[in-house]
Amino acid sequence: MNPLRIGADVTKQLEYDHAAEADAIKTYNAAIKLATDGGDYATHDVLKHILNNEDEHIDGIEKMQDQLSHMTLPVFLTTQVG
């Protein structure tokens, strides 16, 4: 199991979250290949669904990282409320 990383600030938190999602995507892709190679298409379908969710998560993190790079932290944080 990978160590839990908690960022000291928002930028680090997003960096760590991105790394965790990227690792999860890599792991799910490997598991999907293994399931496919083994002919386990039910597991393949379940893992593919989870992988799609992980892709959405990393897209959201990348969107926040991009927004943060274009504005100050206080302004960014106000966009995240509510």
pLDDT band at 3 (very low <50, low <70, confident <90, very high): confident
In this predicted model, what pLDDT tens digit does every residue of 20-42 receive, in sequence order?
A: 999 999 999 999 999 999 999 99
pLDDT on residue 7: 84
Q: Look at residue 75 in the predicted model and tell me its pLDDT.
A: 93
Nearest to 11 by CA among 67, 82, 81: 67
Instruction: State the Cα angle at 52 between 51 and 58, rounded to 5°.
Output: 85
Share of residues in the chain with pLDDT > 90 (%): 80
Mean pLDDT calculated for residue range 7-15? 92
Residue 4: helix, strand or coil by DSSP? Answer: coil
| Model confidence at 52: pLDDT above 80 | yes
CB 65 within 8 A of CB 9: no
Q: Which backbone phi and psi does 72 adopt, to 5 degrees? A: -75, 160
